[in-house]
Amino acid sequence: MTVHRPKTRVINQTNRGRPAAHTQQEVEPVKEGHPRDRVQSLQDSRTWVPSRDAVLRSHGKPTSRLLARLTAWLRPHRPASLAGRRRAAPRIAFVGFFEHNGGSANTLYGYFRAAQRLGYDIRASSLGIVDPVVQAMIPVAETEWEPDLMVLVFESHQFLHPDAVARIEKLIPRSRRVVVDQDGMYSPETRVGADTNHPTADSQASWTSLFDRLSDTILQPCLNPVTPGVRSFLYFGFERQSSPATETASRRAYDIVYVGNNWYRWHDLVWLCRGLASVRARLGRIAVFGKWWLDDAIPLYEEQTYSDPAFLRDHGVEMYPAVRFDEVERTMKQGRLNPVFVRPVLNELGFITPRMFETFAADTIPLLPPYLRIAVSLYGSEAQRLCLPDEPAGAVLSILDRYADYVGLAQEIGAKLAKEHSYEVRLAQLLGFCR
């Protein structure tokens, strides 16, 4: 099988981890009234005077610390090119490998939507790789565009061309660059079974060298970093893209839906299917949406993307292609229940993943796996009611029997996440790293 990449300006030369996955959907043309058109005024005018009312409208009652951060950043850190303006909106560039059906494009979209509400100017950078579908929905900065803060986002793939690294060093001081290490590549080798953050002998040294060259500020999405020199920044956030539905649970198309690509997720899905086998006849439809579930493993990455469609069909699981990043929550919403699965090495490192927030934002009931050790720290003690035991059948039936009660529980946790982990809060935290 040949793995196709989207056509982009930058060609990757080094791949020490997860491969650049091929796209599966047609590129949609930009239509009149498209979100990219609606942000043109934001790109053309960068003058902004922040107000307390604007912040309150954006994400509820902020803390005085948050307001102080927003205001303090704007005064001393205005770039010289904007010195003539009374007050300039922050300009933030995200450099990453953004695909429409994988990775953290939905997270970038959350930052972009929050920026629109706050009056910030946020763009994906063409110094990274941005596939055409993402480009149609999020503005892309040319290589000469000078931001006030550059956020370099990495998973397990070194996507930056050496020329891009050199251009970044000339474009913006390292004190205004931060690295977000989503997959623990700056950390020492960690292994759980076959899964590891460093698959080769020279992997850690290569990643450490790259990150240290790019920035002094290395951020990891974990509550308590253990790697020296790393700071905590959860990166992912809570963004409810629509109001909670008023329809009854009986009108959902599925009892259980999982939205996610099969990168070390096969073991989790097998566990759930076998655990529900004894009560499968009492459940409705079950579906999985994502790449690499249809026996389409990637050459050289067969273990990471292994699947057995016959096993899934035997357990009544329907399989569908990956959905576009802005359709993740809407697809989750079709199911009464949505399990949260975490890649083994990320769970071992205590890392946050986007689904830990997105599932609570999707107007469904999250099913937390028994191995998720950070559930109480992240969600609060009430989240224990959503944690499945090793034998999940009885717990799943109990949740469905008392569905309204668990809907209320999920909404209470969601309200807490909206207050503490919105993308407006994340932006304030990001600006706090800028010196």
CA atoms within 13 A on the CB side of 358: 29
Confidence (pLDDT) at 243: 62
Rounded CA-CA distance 403/209 in Å is 50
- Are 233 and 279 part of one and the same domain? no
**Do residues 197 and 222 share a domain?**
yes
What is residue 65's predicted lDDT score, i.e. its pLDDT?
Answer: 53
CA 136 to chain CA mean position, Å: 19
As a residue count, the chain comes to 435
Instruction: Tell me: do 144 and 154 sit in the same domain.
Output: yes
Task: Look at residue 245 in the predicted model and tell me its pLDDT.
Answer: 55
Say whether both 186 and 261 belong to one domain. Answer: no
- Do 302 and 320 sit in the same domain of this protein? yes
Q: Packing angle between helix 393-401 and helix 403-420, nearest 10 degrees?
A: 90
Q: Is the domain of 177 the same as that of 262?
A: no
| Rounded Cα–Cα distance for residues 29 and 135 (Å) | 10
Return the DSSP state at 17. Answer: S
What is each CA distance from 305 to 131, 298, 308, 424, in whole angstroms? 22, 7, 10, 35
DSSP letter string over 153-217? EESS-----HHHHHHHHHHS-GGGEEEEETT-TTSPP-EETTEES--STTHHHHHHHHHHHH-SE
Tokens, residue 329: 């929550």
Task: Report pLDDT for 88.
Answer: 77
Q: How far apart are CA 163 and CA 115, in angstroms?
A: 29
Q: Are residues 80 and 155 in the same domain?
A: yes
Position of tokens 């251009």?
167
Q: How many domains does the chain have?
A: 2
pLDDT by position in tens, the chain (length 435)? 444 444 433 333 344 344 444 333 333 333 333 333 333 333 333 333 333 333 333 444 444 454 445 444 444 444 443 333 334 799 999 999 999 999 999 999 999 999 999 999 999 999 999 999 999 999 999 999 999 999 999 999 999 999 999 999 999 999 999 999 999 999 999 999 999 999 999 999 999 999 999 999 999 999 999 999 999 999 999 998 666 654 555 689 999 999 999 999 999 999 999 999 999 999 999 999 999 999 889 999 999 999 999 999 999 999 999 999 999 999 999 999 999 999 999 999 999 999 999 999 999 999 999 999 999 999 999 999 999 999 999 999 999 999 999 999 999 999 999 999 999 999 999 999 986
CA distances from 62 to 53, 54, 56, 158, 421 (A): 11, 11, 7, 37, 11
Q: Give the per-residue pLDDT at 19.
A: 45
The answer to whether position 269 is within a domain reads yes
For the entire predicted model, the pTM comes to 0.80
Which residues form the domain of 315?
A: 249-420
Residues 187 and 131 both lie in one domain: yes
Nearest C-alpha neighbor of 278 from the set 392, 369, 367: 392
Residues 167 and 300 in one domain: no
Judge if 259 and 166 occupy the same domain.
Answer: no
Distance (Å, whole) CA 95 – CA 244: 33
- The answer to whether residues 212 and 361 belong to one domain is no
Q: How deeply is 81 buried, as exposed, middle or buried, from its count of CB atoms within 10 A (0-12, 13-18, 19+)?
A: exposed
Q: Residues 205, 210, 214, CA angle at the centre, nearest 5°?
A: 145
25 lies in a domain?
no
Rounded Cα–Cα distance for residues 244 and 235 (Å)? 24
Residue 51 lies in a domain: yes
In a domain, 117, yes or no: yes
Question: Looking at the domain assignment, is residue 28 inside a domain?
Answer: no
Looking up residue 81, the CATH number of its domain turns out to be 3.40.50
Query: Does residue 160 lie in a domain region?
Result: yes
User: What DSSP string describes 24-43?
Assistant: -SPPPPPPTT-HHHHTHHHH
Query: Is residue 70 domain-shared with residue 197, that is, in the same domain?
Result: yes
- Structural domain contains residue 30: no
Closest CA to 107 of 391, 303, 364, 358: 358
**What secondary structure letter does DSSP report for 301?**
B
**CATH number, residue 288:** 3.40.50.2000
User: Is residue 29 in some structural domain?
Assistant: no
